[in-house]
Structure 1
Amino acid sequence: MITSRLAALARPGLGALAMALLAGCSVLPASLPFFGSTVEKPKPAELQANPGLLGVRQAWVARIGEVSYALGPAVNGTTLTLASGAGSLVALDSASGRELWRANAGAPLAAGVGSDGTTAAVITRANDVVAFADGKETWRQRMPALAYTPPFVAGGRVFVLAADRSVTAFDGRNGHKLWTQSRPGEPLVLSQSGVILAVGDTLVVGQGGRLAGLNPANGSIRWEAPIATARGINDVERLTDLVGRVSRVGTNICARAFQTAVGCVDAARGTVAWTQRANGFEGVHGDEANVFGTEADGKVVAWKRDTGQRAWTNERLLHRGLTAPLALGRSVVVGDSMGFVHFLSREDGSLLNRLSTDGSPIVAAPLVAGNTLVVVTRNGTVYGFVPE
């Protein structure tokens, strides 16, 4: 199987030049030469008429500079922190779009942003973890491996999940390294965001195709729960890394394994509730009833949270390059590679409304900051939408 993310795969031992070349090819052209032939990119589905059943209006627009990596904005209350591909960070008030502070990491970014509302952290392509407070750099530390997942900042610490599947903890005040937990894995890695979050007093991370619960004080493993198992005859087919975002309800965590499966885990006990075969490379979101995801071919799928059985499937957005979804109110929100934002019904997946942006791809899964829906495009335009 060939997907648009195959060009975003790399071996950990490749040099910086090779990595840069690979990272720059994460989106396929309209046709791709392949073994002397031409593989045509499927034609995106035509848009259906917009029923306008959900009242949404644009409240503000801001600009951060072109986003050339898998942006993971940070939300803390009504403060939204984002970063451009060139390394510029900006904190915005989500209600008005007003700029609160601006900083610069001094180098292009590979991942960002993580923040607890006090400390914000990003990762540069030179493998530096850079931390800021109130727009001023406080420390930076060099990582021994590439990292594409935004740092997770919590409890006065900065946790980094690297592409080699290791996890490192730094003191949030001064950058002192506290511990590193390593795990051997498959030789290929994904240049996109993985999974790292806190559930109670446990740090939950994606390592290969499994969720692992770590002790945040020392990195020791408390439990492991497999969502997917590596199979196949080559390294690409064996790649099953978990990808962000995830859906969390209490201690129930649902996640996607790249091109393989979607599943849910009880993070209190470290046990798997269910897994289902699924072919996608973007994360999931959900509510107490369902888990929502977008497949590689553009299907939007809802799985019942308690059993994993399909609740509904929407096939009206095929081959439109969809983001991970956001469950919001009575809708499921997804962005596409043409700059449209689609609002689908949580009940049956039918279209409720559609908004347009600047025409460039939506590069981050839609998110909520305060009472504002936030969407970011590749051109670096940040949109704030609110209910009418």
Structure 2
Amino acid sequence: MVNLPRALSAAGLLACALLVAACSSSGKKPEPKPLPPNPNLLAVQRIWTAQVGEISGPMTLRVTADGSQVLAVGGKTGEVTALSAASGQQLWRTAVGARVTAGVGSDGQLTSVVTENNDLVTLDGGKEIWRQPLGARSYTPPLVAGARVFVLTADRVLALDGQTGRRLWSQPRVGEPLMLRQSGSILAVGNVLVVGVAGRLMGLNPLTGEPQWQAAVAVSRGANDIERLVDLVGSVSRQGSVVCGRAYQSRVGCVDTNRGSLIWAKNAQGYTGLGGDADRVFGTEGDGRVIAWQRASGDQLWSADALRYRNVSAPLALGRAVAVGDGNGNVHLLSREDGSTLTRLITDGSAIEVQPVLAGNTLVVATQKGAIYGFRPE
């Protein structure tokens, strides 16, 4: 089995959390499937590289609202770095005093991260303007939108004023004895704040935190709390008002956020986020298979097993290709149409655990050693 994320266990207040192993296996780990020769069917040029320091924990690449920057957070160094997506040039770099456990969120001006000390730190143009203690763990990058910072913690959803850090509202999370120690889902869709709570997507009023609707992607089942974990994990794929997400090791599904209703849900055994385009949703399973579903119906279009047991990252839709990284630092560009390999890119040999991002026309990936690469399809 591939390595699975750990879970967060709590009794009473989730602020007093105990970290436990979510899953384990006593059997021998399967050997990664050998890679065939690189077909080189798609020309891609590496245009820049940058270094943000070795990563020992979570790291997120985030493109700012205007698409002109890529922000990278190095977990071990406790630094937040802003890079130009066009050139890889460092724009600013700021130490936040402790390892980053959730980040980065940015609207292009304000940038927020959460540290291992449970501090929410907000920067303006790379300069710290405030920090606030959260009281509970967060592994989900904050959302910075509408002059506010929204945070998903182990026990609640919070909204804070972007300039002062003043708490505006707090909405408790209910009925979750366990929570995964990995990124969840929080995003703005029109005038609604959409968050993943257990196996549900919920729509909240961003001004008050009042719930407006909820739609279940997965329902908890199993003999114990660990088996019943169905947190929504990682990135979602949004097209207009339709948001598609993954419930941990159970299902993927799409929700109409205008109506607050589930469109479809399908069984799936993965634990990373989703990618997608106007017609398709892409995901990677726990065993390394990459799957494409029809966005409108949920019908499976293809399943590619060339990367079995290679610790594959969440996918990124990239024109006619789907980009994923693996545990050996390879970036695989697969055909959007059938999942066949178009080309393979090489980095520094360390794992690519972070979902690749697209900044303008530049594909950006980050490795565990903290190297950031910019590639451009020709």
Q: What TM-score does the superposition give when structure 2 sets the normalisation length?
A: 0.95
The corresponding residue for 2:4 is 5
Offset, 1:328: 0.5
The corresponding residue for 1:102 is 93
1:320 and 2:310 correspond: yes
Offset, 1:208: 0.4
Verify the 8 A CA contact 1:12 1:163 in the aligned structure 2: no
Q: Deviations over 1:288-325 (max 9, x none)?
A: 21110000011100011111110000011100001100
1:219 and 2:209 correspond: yes
Q: Secondary structure, in 3 states, of the residue corresponding to 1:273?
A: strand
1:128 and 2:119 correspond: yes
Q: Deviations over 1:14-42 (max 9, x none)?
A: 898964xx6xx89x9xxx8x6xxx52111
Aligned to 1:47, which of 35, 38, 41? 35
The corresponding residue for 1:188 is 178
Aligned to 2:45, which of 51, 54, 57? 57
Aligned to 1:288, which of 271, 278, 300? 278
Aligned-residue RMSD, C-alpha = 1.7
C-alpha distance in 1 between matches for 2:69 and 2:300: 36
Q: Deviations over 1:94-124 (max 9, x none)?
A: 0000111110110111111000001000000
In the alignment, residue 193 of structure 2 is paired with which amino acid? Answer: L
Verify the 8 A CA contact 1:168 1:179 in the aligned structure 2: yes
Verify the 8 A CA contact 2:15 2:137 in the aligned structure 1: no
Choose 211-220 or 81-90, whichever is displaced more. Answer: 81-90
Offset, 1:89: 0.8
In the alignment, residue 117 of structure 1 is paired with which amino acid? Answer: G
Verify the 8 A CA contact 1:186 1:238 in the aligned structure 2: no
Verify the 8 A CA contact 1:127 1:145 in the aligned structure 2: yes
Aligned to 1:266, which of 246, 256, 264? 256
Offset, 1:4: 2.1
Verify the 8 A CA contact 2:100 2:114 in the aligned structure 1: yes
Structure 2, gaps ≥5 residues long: none
Q: Secondary structure, in 3 states, of the residue corresponding to 1:312?
A: strand
Aligned structure 1 segments of 4 or more residues deviating by more than 3 angstroms: 12-19
Structure 1, gaps ≥5 residues long: none
Q: 1:41 to 1:16 in 2, by over 3 A?
A: farther
Q: Secondary structure, in 3 states, of the residue corresponding to 2:10?
A: coil
C-alpha distance in 2 between matches for 1:129 and 1:15: 15
Identical amino acids, percent of aligned pairs: 51
In the alignment, residue 31 of structure 2 is paired with which amino acid? Answer: K
Q: What TM-score does the superposition give when structure 1 sets the normalisation length?
A: 0.93
Offset, 1:48: 1.3
Offset, 1:5: 1.7
